[in-house]
Structure formats: C-alpha cells, structure tokens
Amino acid sequence: MSIVMLSGCSIPRGCPPNTIVEWVDLVKINDIQYHALDATNYTVEEKDLGEIIGEVKYEMADQACLNHQIKNGDAAFLSVGTTLYEFNGYKSDFRIIADGIVYEVQENDKAKTIGELYDIEGKVEGMSVRSSYDGSHVMDLKEEHWTKFINEFLTLDFVGFDNVYKKIEDEEGTFLDIHLKDGSSVRILYWTDANVLNLGAVGNDTLKNIISLYK
C-alpha cells in the first residue's frame, strides 16, 4: 500500500490496486506551490481580491496517481475553472486567494531567503508560542524579542525542508505564530537544538537564544 501527503483521501481511477493517495489542500501556479491556511486563520473579504492570476486546470483528487508531477494549474480539491486571485496587500509569491480560501507559499524555487519567500516585512505586529499538544496559546514574545527575531529571520537562507530535516532527530519543536497586522498569522515550527525551521531554513544564535527564553 502506498501513501502520499496528508488530508483528503481518495482512490483515483486507473491507479494500481490497493493504492491510497492522500493530498493536502494545495494549488500550484506560476511555478509556486501553495497550501491552504486553516479557515480560522483569516476570513476573506471582497476587498482582499486583487488581480486574477490564473485558474485551476486540473483537480487531482480522485484522478492523480502517486507518480503525478504537480504542474501549474493543478489543485488538490479546487474545481477546474476556479479563479486564482492576488491577495491585496501581499505579493502573489507569498499568498493568493481561491474559492474564499487563503493559500500560502510552500515551495518557491526562486526564493533565496526567507524574506523573499514570506512577504511579511513591515507587516508583523507580534509573535507567540503555541502548544504542541492542542495548539492553544501559551505566551507572547516581548516586543524587543520578536522584532529582533523577525529581522534575523527574514535574512536566513531558504534551502527547503529536505535539506534540514536530518538535523532534527528526536527533538520536540516549538510552535511559533507570527501575527500580521491584518489579523492573520504565519505558523512555523522551530527546533532550537538542531537550530532549523520547518519551512526550510537553518537558524542562527540570535534566533536560538531568543526562543530558548520561552521554552
């Protein structure tokens, strides 16, 4: 039995027997792959819809097998013809909107730093630690700490998760929410002993020392 990714599960037509394919809620356009934010993260309003940047050409659920190479216009669960919009206030490399859902960048080979991956400079209003057990709020970072963290964070090289995950071993990571001025947040996972972040970056001593204060 083969399993790939997480979330909705289906048995696509034409796949080998006993194959189970599971997809996260994703979409790809302009060579960038995005994953859907949780519906509680942000409520999309009409004013958020920017220019049209494309549409869904292929819905993978119930159709794509394990060997499917995700292409521009592919989506896991969005219907064919669903319009993809810019999210006003953000670069489309970072976030887009489709079917009333915000999709945030997951893979962008053109990004060289976290600042190029995440369009959040000047848009942050705080950070907090979240429980790894139930996702509840644990504590807020002091402003002097989160401002320093963000400044360093945005300069980190973006190398992709595949290039850092071997450093993690058995350490339990710290869930961090970066709170943006529009009320939404960016969630990251930071393993301080390994000094790596789940989005695909190696931290530095400044980040490690700050977050160690809150563990």
Chain centroid, CA 74 distance in Å: 17
pLDDT for 2 equals 30
Q: What residues contact residue 47 under an 8 Å CB cut-off, 6+ apart? A: 88
Q: Of 102, 108, 85, 204, give the one whose Cα is nearest residue 155.
A: 204
**Per-residue confidence of the chain (215 residues) as pLDDT tens digits?**
233 333 444 455 556 656 666 778 999 999 999 999 999 999 999 999 999 999 999 999 878 777 788 999 999 999 999 999 999 999 999 999 999 999 999 999 999 999 999 999 999 999 999 998 888 999 999 999 999 999 999 999 999 988 898 889 888 999 999 999 999 999 999 999 999 999 999 999 999 999 999 98
pLDDT of residue 4: 39
How would you classify the pairing of strands 32-36 and 101-108?
antiparallel
Question: Measuring CA to CA, how many Å separate 135 from each of 68, 132, 138, 157, 189?
Answer: 33, 6, 9, 28, 12
Q: Which of 160-180 are b and which e, b meaning 16 or more Cβ less than 10 Å from the residue's Cβ?
A: eeeebeeebeeeebbbbbbbb
Q: pTM of the entire structure?
A: 0.89
Token digits for 85?
Answer: 């919009």
Q: Is 139 helix (H, G, I), strand (E, B) or coil?
A: strand
Q: Amino acid identity, residue 87?
A: F
